Structure 1
Amino acid sequence: MPILEPDTSGIAAAVEAARNAEVAVVAVGDKAGMFGHGTSGEGCDAVDLRLPGAQADLVEAVLATGTPTVLLVVSGRPYSLGAFADRAAAIVQAFMPGAEGGMAMAGVLSGRVNPTGKLPVGIPNHPGGQPGTYIAPPLGWFSDGVSNLDPRPLFPFGHGSSYTSFEISDLQLSASEVPVDGELTVTATVANTGDRAGAEVVQVYLSDRTGQVVRPLKQLVAYAKVPLEAGESRTVTFGLHADLMSFTGLAKTRIVEPGAMEVKVGASSEDTPLVGAFTLTGAVREVGEGRVLVPSISLG
């Protein structure tokens, strides 16, 4: 099917093929191009986040056959997939994977490769949803009374599925109080609870509860991909320097400010089962050049 035109001429053949198959793989997404000669690229904008052309009609028609359907999205932007998510057997998102992308996707679809990737952006639920960042202020996220629209994504930043399953547990913080020029050590245990080898990306988010300016609800400060055999568990330790908790204050300088902080550890920005609290102590410290921007990470 053409991507740019609303051409439905090939849908009937696709439906017939799906009806005679055990599994259907429907590839949708973008055509790379520039200045209107594609659907993704410089000068190729979109009115909303519906799949281009008649691709949504194709997906709906194949899903209606009842054949288990894998939706393969090869795109340059995150499209809204909420209309299909509950009915598709699986969704694979590939952001313009390049020349070797076909082989990589074949490995994932066949099960030869156990995927370990995580989303660098949220996948919108509805066509008007924004492919926005997870970094939002308190009133920028969904809560009763703020808006009648729910801006939360269908799949959040940091989300990713696997052919095995994982569990993250046993959060430990090195201290309940950390100097504004000190370091906090965060330790957690990640276990492969499935029946095949895989890797989980353990993610650490911080929340500033008392900042002098509006601060994000959460902010990713560390992550580690932890390879695990079936049934194996390992500990992962993050060293978080106070510089990672700095922000631009009212005086327009970067500072670390004393106050209550919260740390969350999990598998995505919205899947953080481990929550701990600590307090930054001391006087406000201005942070100049040479600040520590990278956490230390070790696996046990």
Structure 2
Amino acid sequence: MIRFVPYALLICTMACSQTTEKPVYLRSDAKTEDRVTDLLKRMTVEEKAGQLNQLAGDLNTGPASGNADWQHKLEAIKNGQVGSMLNVVGAAKTRQVQEAALAGRLGIPLLFGYDVMHGYKTIFPIPLAEACSWELEQVERNHAVAAAESSSAGVHWTFGPMCDISDDPRWGRVMEGAGEDPWYGAQLAAARVKGLQGNLDTNHILACVKHFAAYGAVEGGKEYAYTDLSRVALWNKYMPPYKAAIDAGIATVMNGFTTFEGIPVTGNRYLVTDVLKNKWNFKGFVVSDWNSIGEMVNWGYAADKKDAAFKAISAGSMMDMETQAMVKFIPELVKEGKIQMKEIDDAVGRILYYKFKLGLFDNPFAYCNEAREKATLFSNENRKQSLEAAKRSIVLLKNENKVLPLKKEVKKIALIGLYASDKSHIFDFWKGQGNPNDAVSLQEGMAAAFGTSSISYSAGYVDLSTTTNKSLIAEAVAKTRSADIAVVNIGLSGDLAGEDRSLANIAIPADQVELLKELKKTGKPVIAVVSAGRPMILTEITDLCDAILYTWILGSESGNAIAQVLAGEYNPSGKTVMSFPKATGQIPVYYNHFKTGRPSTTDGKGNWYSRYRDVDNHPLYPFGFGLSYSHFTYSNLTLSDSILDNNHTLQVKVTITNDGDHDGEEVAQLYINDVAASIVRPVKELKGYQKIMLKKGESKTIQFTLGSSDLSFYDASGNSVVEPGKFEVFVGGNSRDVLQEQFWLK
């Protein structure tokens, strides 16, 4: 049985045994750097190796599973063999485990990490959906709530935000990111870091960039797969969001599960040391992803775990999540002279710095307040924020004959779809501490918005069924015939979104398509509410529905948010951040694709150009697309000058008119095209946006400012390049439908 020494007694005993004065590392009035230096001098190499060792608690996010051997882990913690734990949550539990660390020789507290992807107890929209709001202040608030809840439950650190750019919706982890655009991804990365970390008080937590670097480029959108890309692509497409997070002051970075230039990124010195530590001057610490150090053996890059530990630390990686290679082999590697102590001290010192920064040496239980935990988790105010975020994340893709919002004449609604009522599908597979039973289903939201007597429910299909259930379809058809309109919740279960959820087929399931075909025959208006953690291929259903509302996976207030949009209590303003493909074989399809020597013709006709024979080059719905219950017209695009130089800026003005029937918000987007450059450039690049509210009939002239830095790109060494020449500028409501002008950079 482990006996824990009271923390105050431990401090007194240590101080009296070593010197008549309190050690520098225990003095709260000393500089953090001095405290780190003092503590490093007192630590053995084994204790330093222990600080680089992270173990999992009750839950597992990797292949391993089973009951945790807590007695063994607590002994290891007490003996200084563990510096951090993940998946230990709750004020009471984290206090208990922290006591084991404080009972050790030096009383070094643990860091507790946990995946808080989009909420801890109050669940917000998945990050991909959240990005569709185009509202950075809302995004920051969402993550501040997540930080407050998780910190109240003893968590110091989360493994996010995910900053991976990806244009392949087959990859399950697109749900964690910001979509396909690096410029917008950078804005979101910074906002998410600010929301999570704040000023690193006890209401905030350490954030972690992941997955460094270019994990979104995995082959075929397949999880844990190989990546092969040029340095030009690395710097221009994938690096900007990571860099924005670093510039925002993020504390930690996580290695990806993939490779760069044939080397696993966990052991890639170019990425971790040359770029992250030297070029970007990153002062935080690097943590492996789950067993990514050990998996270098599987890659065939390391002979065994000892070799993997050597290659990881030599590359600049630091904390070891779950491989337990650092704690086991670093003392040997130091003794053999393969690793210098200064390398270990650099890694350990960075981890200790943030333990001091969080105040854990002065008040190790500051994050273990059960009263605060009870008052904070799933509060009414947090749920209000979740509802607001969910409404703003919804994207209206189609609205034929203005069938939405639902009119007062609609008295009877047939609500169809398993996902509308079964709450087990309402969250993605990694839902934090959220309880699906606490969430609001679409059926509950519709009942609250329209009245229970107005709603007639039918399941319509079986989840992941490979055959059509004719009896369920017949029941849904009967309900629809007796109603004024059908609202059909289709898509994919939330359990198919996230890590290890890559899919080869992202089309609407065949049984759901068959359901829509039969409902269409009734002659009643059909509204498709699509729930999914990724853009799906909607080609088969567009003609079967009068309206398509893309609702992603929206979190705790999902049902209320969707119902309020359907009812017109909120006019949808979301815009896509990933292009929607027309067919699987078209993937990847993205707006900022590179130019080609044989571009397609304007009308798509003719021969001998870059295309498929059986589907055109355009997505079904482009990046930046989203309808409103109103309508917006763009006019009078003007530039302040036809020439720009490095010492001045260019003003881009455009007039936007709400010529629809409702007040509404519009996301005006500005794109550029570098007509001729020293390397091939994309056909369009997002460089700005404004979200504005316009009353019915109102016009506004808005202004964007462009400087020479906005026209820059990166060379293969990651250096910013600005070249004179002709540029095109585009402004519109999405990346396709734009007004165009041009200017010259001198």
Fold match, TM over 0.5? yes
Are positions 1:277 and 2:742 aligned together?
A: yes
Distance 1:129 1:213 in 2: 25
| Aligned residues of 1:261 and 1:279 also touching (Cα < 8 A) | yes
* Residues 33-84 of structure 1 deviation map (CA, whole Å, 9 limit, x = unaligned): 2xxxxx2221122112212462222222222322210111010011111122
Matched with 2:465 is 5
Are positions 1:209 and 2:675 aligned together?
A: yes
Q: 1:268 aligns with which of 695, 718, 734?
A: 734
What letter corresponds to residue 627 of structure 2 in structure 1? S
| Aligned residues of 1:188 and 1:235 also touching (Cα < 8 A) | yes
Comparing 244-253 with 263-272, greater Cα deviation is found at 244-253
Deviation at 1:263, TM superposition (A): 0.2
Distance 2:572 2:689 in 1: 17
What letter corresponds to residue 657 of structure 2 in structure 1? A
| Aligned residues of 2:630 and 2:658 also touching (Cα < 8 A) | yes
| Aligned residues of 2:488 and 2:527 also touching (Cα < 8 A) | yes
Are positions 1:28 and 2:493 aligned together?
A: no
Q: Which SS does the other structure have where 1:226 is aligned?
A: strand
Q: 2:534 aligns with which of 77, 84, 90?
A: 77
Q: Which SS does the other structure have where 2:542 is aligned?
A: coil
| Aligned residues of 2:589 and 2:618 also touching (Cα < 8 A) | no
What letter corresponds to residue 468 of structure 2 in structure 1? T
Distance 2:693 2:588 in 1: 29
* Residues 160-190 of structure 1 deviation map (CA, whole Å, 9 limit, x = unaligned): 1111111111111111111145321111111
Comparing 180-189 with 223-232, greater Cα deviation is found at 180-189
Are positions 1:166 and 2:632 aligned together?
A: yes
Within 5 Å, which residues of 2 pair with 1:220-239? 220-239=686-705
Distance 2:561 2:736 in 1: 27
Give the TM-score normalised by structure 2.
0.36
Q: CA, structure 1 residues 53+31, in 2 after alignment: closer, same or farther (shift >3 Å)?
A: farther
Matched with 1:191 is 657
Q: Which SS does the other structure have where 1:128 is aligned?
A: helix
* Bigger Rg, which one: 2
Comparing 131-140 with 94-103, greater Cα deviation is found at 131-140
Are positions 1:19 and 2:484 aligned together?
A: no
| Aligned residues of 1:165 and 1:193 also touching (Cα < 8 A) | yes
Distance 1:175 1:268 in 2: 24
Matched with 1:92 is 549
Gaps of 5+ in 1: 34-38, 282-300
| Aligned residues of 1:49 and 1:128 also touching (Cα < 8 A) | no
Distance 1:186 1:173 in 2: 5
Deviation at 1:86, TM superposition (A): 2.8
* Residues 195-250 of structure 1 deviation map (CA, whole Å, 9 limit, x = unaligned): 22111111101001011111000011111111011111111111122111111236
Deviation at 1:275, TM superposition (A): 0.8
Structure with greater proportional helix content? 2
| Aligned residues of 1:79 and 1:127 also touching (Cα < 8 A) | no
Q: CA, structure 1 residues 142+109, in 2 after alignment: closer, same or farther (shift >3 Å)?
A: farther
| Aligned residues of 1:3 and 1:54 also touching (Cα < 8 A) | no
Deviation at 1:192, TM superposition (A): 0.7
Q: 2:523 aligns with which of 51, 56, 66?
A: 66
Q: CA, structure 1 residues 181+248, in 2 after alignment: closer, same or farther (shift >3 Å)?
A: farther
Runs of 4+ displaced beyond 4 Å? 140-144
| Aligned residues of 2:624 and 2:735 also touching (Cα < 8 A) | yes
Distance 1:243 1:226 in 2: 25
Matched with 2:622 is 156
Number of aligned residues: 275
Distance 1:141 1:104 in 2: 42
Within 5 Å, which residues of 2 pair with 1:128-147? 128-130=585-587, 132-139=589-596, 142-143=600-601, 144=606, 145-147=609-611
What letter corresponds to residue 85 of structure 1 in structure 2? T
Q: Which SS does the other structure have where 2:666 is aligned?
A: strand
What letter corresponds to residue 590 of structure 2 in structure 1? T
What is the percent sequence identity of the aligned residues? 36
Distance 2:534 2:484 in 1: 30
Q: CA, structure 1 residues 251+128, in 2 after alignment: closer, same or farther (shift >3 Å)?
A: closer
| Aligned residues of 1:26 and 1:70 also touching (Cα < 8 A) | yes
| Aligned residues of 1:72 and 1:92 also touching (Cα < 8 A) | yes
| Aligned residues of 2:649 and 2:705 also touching (Cα < 8 A) | yes
Structure with greater proportional strand content? 1
Matched with 2:512 is 55
What letter corresponds to residue 117 of structure 1 in structure 2? G
Q: 2:574 aligns with which of 86, 98, 117?
A: 117
What letter corresponds to residue 277 of structure 1 in structure 2? Q
What letter corresponds to residue 8 of structure 1 in structure 2? T
| Aligned residues of 1:3 and 1:55 also touching (Cα < 8 A) | no
Q: Which SS does the other structure have where 2:504 is aligned?
A: coil
| Aligned residues of 1:141 and 1:152 also touching (Cα < 8 A) | no
Distance 2:514 2:498 in 1: 24
What letter corresponds to residue 255 of structure 1 in structure 2? V
What letter corresponds to residue 146 of structure 1 in structure 2? S
